Amino acid sequence: MDLTTASNKTKSCMVEHLRLPDKMEPGIYGDEGEKNPNGRMFLGMGSGIVHIWGVFKNGLEPGQVGEMRFHNVPGSYVVTGNFSEWIPGPAGYSPHAILRHDVTPPPDVTKMQPAEIEQGTWDLEVHVHTAPGQPPDQVVGLEEIELMPTASPHAWAISKYKSIFRGQPFEQHGILGYDANKERHTAAWVKTVQANLGVFEGDYDQRTRTMVLDGIVESCIGLRDKFGKFIKIREKRIIQYKDRNTKTMKVFQQEPDQDGHFGPGQPWVLKDEITAHRRRDIAEYPGNIMANVPAIGDCVMTLIALQRAKGEIKVVGRNTSNAHRNAVAGMVRLGPSWQIAFHDALRL
């Protein structure tokens, strides 16, 4: 289907087409559903619903009818339609996102388990100590962590970390959570610079929001034993959650003695110092990132009809003012979680 603007040459009706993105996410989109900060389709999300707005390219003359057809619409219920004047310029924020921010208290980090705090996207500043007496390498990384619920009350944090270290791509994948059988926190990580899986156990101090994990890993700087195998290193990770959006971690390593044993006589050497800040999203911190609804005017516009066909919603309205006006047509529909629950069963 050609989704370019179609208009009859009279002033009786202006028909335009927009294709929704394949994945519903807040933002500004072009005519074909591609992310475009200068696009004319706006998606705002919050409180389980989605606001979708489409701006008419050339506005409407006095008394003219405008028809905006949204394509690629998934099959969940459209609650209502909107038709309004549009004020060109900077966009605003989803009113539902702002409302949720205003009425929802922030999570109490003192009552959260580490895996719950970990969930989200983090920007990391890493100081890597590679040689005694030398300044550390400074690395910037990105960590994405998803929460995996389980049949027990305890969830697990699944993490993926990426950075560039000395010109080479570096990755670390891990899992962290509370093992109810061991009654301890357990973690495992694998890195691009190590051939083995490092497994850690430790305890979490809820009062100080500090977790200490201890485990055995391979040397990641190439240390080998007399048989040519990479030696095992004891590693300790101390993670502290300053608040819900800030965490720090220090990584210490201890080499074995000549007999391959670890003990109090072997020194702990600081290897990494990490500070991480959570990336904030529009639903929780409006004003921090992109705007996602158009600026709405106050002149008289009238919604005439809201119609649905398979995969398509048609919003029809009229400019009932006495002057040419920029116009925007929109709809409010149930969000992706409703779609997962009901698929195509809910229709207008």
What are the pLDDT digits (tens) for 144-177?
A: 999 998 877 888 999 999 999 888 899 999 999 9
Going from the N-terminus, what domains does the chain have, and what CATH number goes with each?
A: 6-92+291-342 (2.60.40), 110-278 (2.40.128.20)
d(CA 38, CA 41): 9
- In terms of average pLDDT, the best of 36-40, 87-91, 165-169, 187-191 is 187-191
Residues 6+ away with beta carbon under 8 Å from 49? 79, 96, 332, 333, 334, 335
Dihedral pair phi/psi, residue 114, rounded to 5°: -55, -40
Residue 8: pLDDT band with limits 50, 70, 90: very low
d(CA 56, CA 5): 9
Angle at 139 between CA 233 and CA 272, to 5 degrees: 30
Residue 347: pLDDT band with limits 50, 70, 90: very low
Give the pLDDT of residue 110: 84
β 168-179/27-29 pair status: unpaired
From start to end of 206-340, where are the E strands?
Answer: 210-218, 232-243, 246-254, 269-278, 301-309, 312-319, 327-334
Residues 6+ away with beta carbon under 8 Å from 224? 230, 231
Torsion sign (Cα): 218, 224, 228, 232: negative
Residue 346 has pLDDT above 50, yes or no: no
From first CA to last CA, the distance across the chain in angstroms is 23
pLDDT, tens digit, 9 for 90 and up, residues 57-110: 999 999 999 999 999 987 757 778 989 988 876 655 555 555 555 555 667 888
d(CA 253, CA 269): 5
**Cα 269 from chain centroid?**
35
Q: Are 18 and 5 in contact (CB under 8 A)?
A: no
- The two three-digit tokens of residue 139, written as one number: 């690395």
Give the pLDDT of residue 98: 53
Give the pLDDT of residue 274: 97
pLDDT, tens digit, 9 for 90 and up, residues 222-236: 666 666 677 788 999
Q: Are 314 and 307 in contact (CB under 8 A)?
A: yes
d(CA 99, CA 81): 20
Give the pLDDT of residue 4: 38
- The two three-digit tokens of residue 157, written as one number: 């944090």
Residue 318 has pLDDT above 80, yes or no: yes
d(CA 323, CA 311): 34
**Cα 38 from chain centroid?**
22
Residues 6+ away with beta carbon under 8 Å from 142? 121, 122, 123, 124, 161, 162, 163
Pick the residue with more confidence: 285 or 113? 113
Q: Residue 217: how many CA atoms within 13 Å on its side-chain side?
A: 28
Q: Which residue has the tokens 């009706």?
A: 13
Cα–Cα nearest to 255, from 264, 266, 247, 245: 266
**Cα 122 from chain centroid?**
10
Distance set, CA 273 to CA 166, 189, 239, 317 (Å):
17, 17, 10, 59
- 147: helix, strand or coil: strand
pLDDT cut 70: percent of the chain above it: 79
Q: pTM (2 decimals)? A: 0.55
| DSSP type of residue 225 | -
Give the pLDDT of residue 305: 93
Average pLDDT over the chain, rounded to an integer: 82
Q: Give one DSSP letter per residue of 93-110, joined into a string.
A: --HHHHHHHHHSPPP-GG
- 341: helix, strand or coil: helix
